[in-house]
Amino acid sequence: MSRSTRTSQTDSTGFTRRRFLNVGVGLAQAAGTAALGSALWPLTGRSQQAAANITAMDLGGLTLLQGAGCNVVAMPGDDGALMIDGGLAANADALLQAVYAATGNDRIGMLINTHWHAEQVGANEAVGRSGGVIFAHENTRMYLSNIVYAESFDIRREPLPEAARPTRVTRGDGSLEFSGTRADYGYLPQAHTDGDLYVHFPAMNVLAAGGVVSGERWPLIDYRNGAWYGGRVRALQWLADLVEPDTRVVPADGRLITGRDIVRVRDIYLDLFETLIGYMNMGFGAEDAVAHNPLAEYEDEFGDPSAFLDGAYRSMMIAYVPE
């Protein structure tokens, strides 16, 4: 398996907030180092609920459905279809019909929420009321059961109805068997939210990565609800060790990407992490990090990175605890 040389230099299991002090003041000159590249993701609480125009892509035993508010993966099952994420509530009916057409099933046996944002949980109520299992990390259920204020939301998020909340939860990693196919899932703490799961189908070489990766656009970091930039870097380290170069990776939205994209962006994020630590050692505030703009060369591809840099830097200032 092709890996970047960074894999041996940075152990993903040892990446913690305490790593800040190991980087050194010399990194303060790294303001112009490599920036975010080909695989970026948004925290899209302001997404428009436009009429769904759902398209389907065959992934060889799985189907990728796009246009309902997020990327959705569906798989036929003996007792109903498997869905990974559920789009916006306004598009739930159209999405479910598309899932039924793609899988040949007439009900959802299990819906997996990769995280708790509105774009992922819009089909929860319909699935829950029809008797389907809703599976998620326990933090996702907590957020869906309470009022939430998030960095990217203009208004507060109300709890979902009881029927729409996850009925089966996990605290960590594990496996499910669905119609004879193994699906491995894993927890990516403090990355995009504080309840992110990925779902990996080894036999099909497909990874549903949720909001931790994307094919386009800049991310926002919901640092008020447990996410921070170091958690995002750690998540990319874990995923880079999981994928093959040709693994098909389904992000929360945007284009299908590959394992090569994951490895590349892992390395870029590590470089940016060290650049931001250099800024901290120089006494910068978030506005200074934005003004220096180490991502300037990527603006033509991904737009203005100011909001991302501001959130990433503020999250690191919260996480930085001297030893």
For residues 73-101, give the mean pLDDT.
97
Q: What is the pLDDT of residues 118-132, one digit of tens each?
A: 999 999 999 999 999
The pLDDT score that the predictor gives to residue 251 is: 94
The pLDDT score that the predictor gives to residue 300 is: 85
The pLDDT score that the predictor gives to residue 226 is: 86
pLDDT beyond 90 at 225:
no
Number of neighbouring beta carbons within 10 Å of residue 274: 18
Domains of the chain: 6-319 (3.60.15.10)
Q: What is the pLDDT of residues 68-80, one digit of tens each?
A: 999 999 999 999 9
Q: Give DSSP secondary structure letters for 20-59.
A: GGGT-GGGGGGGGS----S------TT---PPP--EEEE-
Alpha-carbon distance of 190 to 192, in angstroms, equals 6
Cβ(67)–Cβ(52) below 8 Å:
yes
Q: What is the pLDDT of residues 114-168, one digit of tens each?
A: 999 999 999 999 999 999 999 999 999 999 999 998 755 556 889 999 999 999 9
Paired strand residues for 176? 183
Alpha-carbon distance of 178 to 145, in angstroms, equals 27
Alpha-carbon distance of 299 to 270, in angstroms, equals 19
Cβ(66)–Cβ(252) below 8 Å:
no
Average pLDDT of the chain to the nearest whole number: 84
